[in-house]
Amino acid sequence: MFKRILFVCLLGVLNTVTAQTPTDYLSADFHKNRREVLRSKMPKNSVTIVFANPIRNRANDVDYVFHQDPNFYYLTGYREPNAVLVLFSENQTDDKGNTYNEILYVQKNDPRAELWNGKRLGIEGTKKELGFKVAKNAEDFISDELNFKNFDQIFIEKFKDDYRNSERNKAEVYDLVNTFKSKSGYNPSSFLSKEKKYVYELIKSTPVENSANVAQIIGKAITYYPSFKRDKLLMGYKNATNNKLKKEFQQKAELKLNEKSNIDIQFLSTRMAEMREIKTPEEMKLLTKAIRISAIGQVEMMKAMKSEMSETEIQGIHEFVYKKYGAEYEGYPSIVGAGNNGCILHYIENNKTKVNNELVLMDLGAEYRGYTADVTRTIPANGKFSPEQKAIYNIVLKAQNAGIAVSKAGNQFWQPGQEAKQVINQGLLDLGIIKSLDEKHMYFPHGTSHHIGLDVHDPGTYGKFQENMVITVEPGIYIPEGSKCDKKWWGIAVRIEDDILITKDTPVNLSNEAPRTVKAIEEMMAKKSVLNDFVLPSLD
């Protein structure tokens, strides 16, 4: 009896422990539905192969924190490395007559590895929790008879080429990719980029008597695509000294253009972009949470800011708020740049020891159950904008408002950028920082909008806005020291970035909990922060 009670108690404890891990990940049904949608887009007799991310090494026996490949996660929900999804357009039949249209190959259960690095889902967990009818060990992907050559088309993503063989297990992504390559007859040189294809077509279709024109185009193309220099055919044609030689290269170009492979590296990324750019209600819940957490991080930081703080401490306060809400990570390395450091667009050193009286640009995003926000606020370290800081800030704010206003279904993706650019150029002209509206300058050197989602720069087709897209609108003005303008502007960098839900009507600013106007920011900064009382012992 006592044993029985103990057993029941243990079960209770285990249940409680299980209940204490997050339960709000995307559902198995979500991932299943995404696979169905992808399958419905695949032509007959085709197969899609998606690889999980590998583990990447940091140094010696320490690895970077694992992050799943977003496409793989979107389609499977599997959060471990060293796995591969095989998705068939139609039902397949195994030796026993069972039918299936997808297989997820996963890390096999291994008590020793699990003792050190945590539990693995394994085959049974994958079936039960992720709802896969057929799950196998990744090692089976290597040994299974998978005859890829039988399919009319094989869809894969371009390999990232950073797989390493740690030899910790026999089925790392490194081995899975190599297996795929040998079983499918993968030949990377059979893929021509769009740009190269264009030049090959030109070579093929231009009479050799006019080859000088094409040679000139190749010369110019090399400045944009330096890798063209390594293409023997292009360089051979460009440098050929007689028409006979040129004709030979022309024939080679034709042969290359006619080469057939059943492996396609475009289809999958385009289909994934079409799917991922529109957020489902289930995704919106998580994404909205990531955004709200990030906006609240900005609010808390506004209250806590002091001139004595370091960029590192400011980063820590945002990230502490994220963790307090249970966000597992940051969606990208946090950017905290005071003064001139803010002019470095992706400044991640964050190592200035004192922010003094400068503007502090804070571009950070919480990652919540895989979904990442991307929110930037720029605030004066001492709580009050100087006249110069305010002048630049208000131009960026006006530009952002103009950009947000046109972020509506039916408009083009480039419209917010166009609106913002106009406002910024006019503002810089009014302040005498540029001398004419046509002046080429680098004070706003980046794009204004991108999708967010499982990636901070989420894939998309970048055509017209559609309902339920979530984009950033993030204009900025950056005036590095030494710029060709009055010194009083030097070292001012402002970016304001919000996450906007596209609807048919008014755009919804999902990060509007963080104040944006000069007045609202100064008011927020005047508030007391609980962190004022958080004093640690001095180590000096």
Positions in the binding site for Mn ion (CB under 5 A)? 363, 374, 472, 474, 497
Of positions 80, 157, 172, 374, contacts ligand GLY by CB under 6 A? 374
Kindly tell me which of 292 and 451 has the beta carbon lying closer to ligand GLY: 451
Q: CA triplet 162, 460, 498: central angle to 5 degrees?
A: 100
**Amino acid letter at 407?**
S
Kindly tell me which of 277 and 374 has the beta carbon lying closer to ligand GLY: 374
Which partner, Mn ion, ligand GLY, none, binds residue 237 by CB below 5 to 8 Å per kind? none
Closest CA to 32 of 3, 63, 68, 75: 75
Dump the DSSP string for 317-333: HHHHHHHHTT--EESS-
Residue 130 in contact with residue 77, Cβ under 8 Å? yes
* Minimal distance, residue 385 CB to Mn ion, in Å: 21
474 binds ligand GLY (CB under 6 A): yes
- Calpha distance 355→373 (Å, rounded): 25
* Minimal distance, residue 374 CB to ligand GLY, in Å: 5
497 binds ligand GLY (CB under 6 A): yes
Q: Pairing between strand 84-93 and 371-372?
A: unpaired
Kindly tell me which of 231 and 374 has the beta carbon lying closer to ligand GLY: 374
Q: Where are the alpha helices (DSSP H) in 406-431?
A: 415-430
Question: How many other C-beta atoms are found inside a 10 Å radius of the C-beta of residue 93?
Answer: 9
**Number of residues engaging ligand GLY in binding (CB under 6 A):** 6
State the greatest distance between any 2 C-alpha atoms of the chain, in Å, as a whole number.
Answer: 98
Sole residue written with tokens 């893929």 = 191
Helix or strand (DSSP H, E) at 360:
strand 359-364
Closest CA to 169 of 265, 271, 53, 81: 81
* Minimal distance, residue 448 CB to ligand GLY, in Å: 10
Site residues for ligand GLY, 408-467, by CB under 6 A, read 456
Which partner, Mn ion, ligand GLY, none, binds residue 102 by CB below 5 to 8 Å per kind? none
367 binds ligand GLY (CB under 6 A): no
Which partner, Mn ion, ligand GLY, none, binds residue 498 by CB below 5 to 8 Å per kind? none
358 binds ligand GLY (CB under 6 A): no
Phi, psi of 102, rounded to the nearest 5 degrees: -165, 150
Sole residue written with tokens 């000294």 = 241
* Minimal distance, residue 474 CB to Mn ion, in Å: 5
Site residues for ligand GLY, 273-332, by CB under 6 A, read 332
Kindly tell me which of 134 and 406 has the beta carbon lying closer to Mn ion: 406
* Minimal distance, residue 495 CB to ligand GLY, in Å: 8
User: What does the binding site for ligand GLY look like in residue numbers (CB under 6 A)?
Assistant: 332, 363, 374, 456, 474, 497
